[in-house]
Amino acid sequence: MDLQSIKNRFNIIGNSPELNYALQVAVQVANTDLTVLIIGDSGVGKEAFSSIIHSLSSRKHNPFIAVNCGAIPEGTIDSELFGHEKGSFTGAVDARKGYFETVNGGTIFLDEIGEMPLGTQARLLRVLEAGEYIRVGSSKVQKTDVRVIAATNKDLLKLVEQNKFREDLYYRLSTVPIRVPSLSGRREDIVLLFRKFAADFADKYKTQSVQLDEDAKNLLLEYPWPGNIRELKNIAEQISVLSENKQISAKALGRYLQPYSNNRLPAVSTAQHQNEFQNEREILYKLFFDMKKDVNELKRMFLEVLQNPSVAAQNPSLINELKDLSNGHDSGYLPAPAATYQPVQLSMPPSSAPVIVDNSIDEHEEVDESLNIMEKEKELIIKALKKHKGKRKDASLDLGISERTLYRKLKEYDIEEL
């Protein structure tokens, strides 16, 4: 299969020799069972490499799973990967298969491998060396045939020096290293990528695609791109949505880029930047994008509680959650809260009960009640985990929140072992 058709199939844009080489190596090793370590800065596009390798391997019809080692709490990662026996820890009401069991015959992508706890690293090494693992709380050795692809944006050798990463595992994992180049090392791809993203976002937002003039292109090429392709994509999205003028000048583009020390970047002072950004509509758009996800999660949580009338009756404190929302928690963009609380208009689905904001709540009640809603949330999370036998993916679906948010909340509420 030639590189261009692989790029088309996996939506990879770019033609720099470094990218082509990385892809070439991925294609060459795909059909072996060798362990692959994908290395590259944050946002360079490491994820696609794991699916390319799996899809071009003889395991392509078998399962593939991506596990983000950085998102799983330390206390549960062993059980998640290798399974556990019933009663092996508090809350282990049933035995559970781990991914190395369920994905037998397939491929596991261990993303952010640098975040893997040392104990788990020892277990992983055993799988890689002997194809063996033991469920948590068991003494029975089991066999598995799983191909491992790992990725990291950390310098693993540095972690080895700091005793945070096992040296033997490092060498075992990097049988075949694939280095995905940073955007600053493949300048020839920058404009191509921008053009592709601009076209995609024009499609998504049903508007005309933005076009860069020559100076804007030069600015794009000079910018250091610390966030790599992810940053370029974000900027393309912001410009596609916010810019009324579809012809983008260097000055207009400069407003979206982070200030950096290269003198060739047109000076955009912070004060000027802020002034120009005071346009109300732009602020609203920005606010909207940043808050949309959090608000949706909160809405789903409210609806869940509201759907249970007895819970709703006992919980006038839902109002406080609304207050929190309007006070801009978790958002860097909301304006400072007004001295007097103004109820916010949330676009709740039509089926939801109206929420009446009672301004007469005194401060003492507010504190108590906001603790109640946290309790309620904790209760719901535990309930969902029990219902789904500790399967966090299913529990998060049921709760209407993302798996990552669930992980965060498990940490926050100290619910580690269910």
Question: At its nearest, how many Å lie between Mg ion and the CB of residue 19?
Answer: 16
Distance separating alpha carbons of residues 107 and 17, to the nearest angstrom = 28
By CB under 5 A, tell whether 282 contacts Mg ion: no
Work out the burial of residue 46: count CB atoms within 10 Å of its CB; fewer than 13 is exposed, 13-18 middle, 19 or more buried: buried
Q: Which positions ≥6 away from 286 have C-beta within 8 Å?
A: 242, 333
Centre a 10 Å sphere on the Cβ of residue 300 and count the other Cβ atoms it contains.
Answer: 14
- To ligand ATP, the closest distance from the beta carbon of 210 in angstroms equals 17
Q: How far is the CB of 48 from ligand ATP (least distance, A)?
A: 6
Among 153, 174, 209, 249, interactor with ligand ATP by CB under 6 A: 153
Residue with Cβ nearer ligand ATP (237 or 304): 237
Q: Which string of x and - marks every residue 36-75 that binds ligand ATP (by CB under 6 A)?
A: ----x-xxxxxxx---------------------------
Residues in 240-299 at the binding interface with ligand ATP, rule: CB under 6 A: none
Closest CA relative to residue 38, chosen from 199, 156, 125, 145 = 156
CB of 41 to Mg ion, least distance (A): 11
Distance CA 318, CA 316 (A): 5
Decide: residue 397, CB within 10 A, 0-12 exposed, 13-18 middle, 19+ buried.
Answer: middle
Using rule CB under 5 A, residue 68 touches Mg ion? no
Report whether 148 contacts 54 (CB < 8 A). no
**Rounded CA separation 285/146 (Å):** 45
**What does the alpha-carbon distance between residue 54 and residue 14 come to, in Å, rounded to a whole number?**
21
The residue count for binding Mg ion (CB under 5 A) is 1
Rounded Cα distance, 237 and 145, in Å: 42
Identify residues 188-227 at the interface with ligand ATP (CB under 6 A): 193
Classify residue 53 as left (phi > 0), alpha (psi -120 to 50) or beta: alpha
Minimal distance, residue 180 CB to ligand ATP, in Å: 6
- Residue 140 tokens read as 């029975």
Nearer to ligand ATP, 114 or 390 (CB): 114
User: Which candidate, 396, 372, 381, places its Cα nearest to that of 311?
Assistant: 372
Q: Choose, by CB under 6 A, the member of 6, 12, 146, 322 that binds ligand ATP.
A: 12
Least distance from ligand ATP to the Cβ atom of residue 11, Å: 6
13 contacts ligand ATP (rule: CB under 6 A): yes
> Would you count residue 150 as binding ligand ATP (CB under 6 A)?
no
User: What is the DSSP-derived secondary structure letter of residue 389?
Assistant: T
For residue 45, the partner it binds in Mg ion, ligand ATP, none, with Cβ less than 5 to 8 A by kind, is ligand ATP
Strands 132-134 and 141-143, by their bridges, are antiparallel
Q: Are 38 and 151 in contact (CB under 8 A)?
A: yes
Q: Does 47 bind Mg ion (CB under 5 A)?
A: yes
Residue 44 partner contact from Mg ion, ligand ATP, none using kind-dependent CB cut-offs of 5 to 8 Å: ligand ATP
Q: Which stretch binds ligand ATP (CB under 6 A): 7-15, 20-28, 286-294, 361-369?
A: 7-15
State which residue has the least CB distance to ligand ATP.
Answer: 45
Q: Considering beta carbons, is residue 6 or 193 the nearer one to ligand ATP?
A: 193
Give the interface with Mg ion as residue ranges (CB under 5 A): 47
Residues that bind ligand ATP (CB under 6 A): 11-14, 40, 42-48, 153, 193, 229-230, 233
